[in-house]
Amino acid sequence: MGDSSCEEECDYLFKAVLVGDSGVGKSNLLSRLDSKPTIGVEFAYRNIRVGDKLIKSQIWDTAGQERFRAITSSYYRGALGALLVYDITRRSSFENVTKWLYEIREFGSSDMVIVLVGNKSDLGHSREVSEEEGRSLAELESLCFMETSALENIHVEAVFLAMVTKIHQIVSQKSL
């Protein structure tokens, strides 16, 4: 049950994308996942073990494209997961979540696993969006939810694991 594009000994290869306003911390989250962070990198790989399966995830970053133009459908093509990131200290980035969701749902596959990520949780003193608001929106839109700090590496691993585990569930149900 392997993926033919798995070069190493992994059982699955998943593509996932990072989405959200510029400045919310997407590239910092990505660099946390990569063992060798690189400036200007457009995607990172991360191997994760779920049960007895080794899953290789390829995580794509917009690499600043969101500043200049709409992200095209090719960005979403083949993606099974999305981390939709906002900044808990910037209300406008939270308000734009619905805009990003609309885009993900327009271009992405209908069963894409979407995790809503409230980043910069280390900046509690400048918080503009409560954790409760994030959780409520996630419930309303049927998304997973977690707050992270890419700076202090809090819950980054957990967000990732939650997404990959859910994707794995969906993929294995489909292949039954």
Binding interface with ligand GDP (CB under 6 A): 22-28, 119-120, 122-123, 149-151
Q: To the nearest whole angstrom, how small is the minimum distance from the Cβ of residue 46 to ligand GDP?
A: 17
Query: Which residue shows structure tokens 């700076």?
Result: 151
Minimum separation from the CB atom of position 50 to ligand GDP (A): 26
Instruction: Give the residue nearest to ligand GDP (CB).
Output: 25
Report the sign of the C-alpha dihedral through residues 82, 88, 92, 94, in that order: positive
Q: Which is nearer to ligand GDP, 57 or 149 (CB)?
A: 149
Cα separation of 90 and 94, whole Å?
A: 7
Task: Give 26 or 168: the residue with its C-beta nearer to ligand GDP.
Answer: 26
Identity of the residue, 61 or 171, whose beta carbon is nearer to ligand GDP in the bound complex: 61
Burial of residue 176, with CB atoms counted within 10 A of its CB: 0-12 exposed, 13-18 middle, 19 or more buried: exposed
CB of 150 to ligand GDP, least distance (A): 4
Q: Which is nearer to ligand GDP, 13 or 24 (CB)?
A: 24
We find the least distance from the C-beta atom of residue 140 to ligand GDP, in angstroms, to be 24
**Residue among 65 and 172 whose Cβ is closer to ligand GDP:** 65
Residue 23 Cβ vs ligand GDP, minimum distance, rounded to whole Å:
5
122's CB contacts (< 8 A; 6+ apart) are 149, 151, 152, 154
Question: Rounded CA gap, 32 and 26, in Å?
Answer: 10
What gap in Å lies between CA 175 and CA 100, rounded to an integer?
30
